[in-house]
Amino acid sequence: MSTPLYVSDEVRALAPGFAHLTVEAHGLTNGPSDGPSAALLDEAARRLVRRLDGRAPQEDPHLAAWRAAYTAFGAKPSRTRNSAEALARRALTDGGLPRINRLVDLYNAISVAHLVPVGGEDLDRIQGGMRLVRAAGDEPFATAAGGAGVIEHPEAGEVVWCDDEGVTCRRWNWRQGVRTRLTEDSVSALFLLERMAPMPLDDLAAAGEELAEALQKSCPGARIEIGGIRTA
């Protein structure tokens, strides 16, 4: 993998059951959501319904572990939900999952089907390596509000992903910034799958393999590499 990732000791101490897996892809072709990407999202929602079997998403042991991790760094998990829980809740509503673009639809489908947070970053927009740290509180976070670009800052102690230019995702995997998000013009991407115990590491690996296979099918000419699982 060409993009280094670092998890700080402070985050390791906060969540010793954390592990992550990366999928790096080059030569991608993206574009607007289409029939195949919508079909992936619809099938993921059906898989979710079977998996939950009538339970609420937060009752799943893996999502409950994420709620505990959020509470540990001061977030309120019922108001600030990890990305997998937020997507699962949307998947169960009448409106269903949002259609963003083909690549985002694809990794959102994997997230919902496996109930694992998955993020996608444009490799050409990442500055230096990616780091998972507890924020000082003065780091810049580029986002949008009311249709306009704004710079926000995380709370001190908040767990954030960042690069050399600033925060790329707030509250672990709650809200991605606009600077590194995947757009229809993105050709290289870093996908990050994040797990808490008790999710088996084999299940994390299976989600990564399914993501890589779906990317290869969607973008036959792409070069895709699955990184090893890194545990905290």
List, in order, residues 6 or more apart from 173 with CB less than 8 Å away: 82, 83, 84, 117, 119, 161, 194
Write the CB contacts of 146 (distance below 8 Å, at least 6 apart in sequence): none
Q: What is the mean pLDDT of each run of 10 residues along the chain (232 residues)?
A: 86 96 98 97 98 97 98 95 97 95 98 98 96 98 89 97 98 96 97 98 98 97 94 72
Name the architecture of domain 5-231.
3-Layer(bba) Sandwich (3.50)
Q: What is the pLDDT of residue 3?
A: 79
DSSP state of 180: S
Q: Is 187 exposed, middle or buried (0-12, 13-18, 19+ CB in 10 A)?
A: middle
Residue ranges of domains in the chain: 5-231
Which residues, 6 or more positions from 224, have their beta carbon under 8 angstroms from its beta carbon? Answer: 23, 24, 25, 26, 212, 215, 216
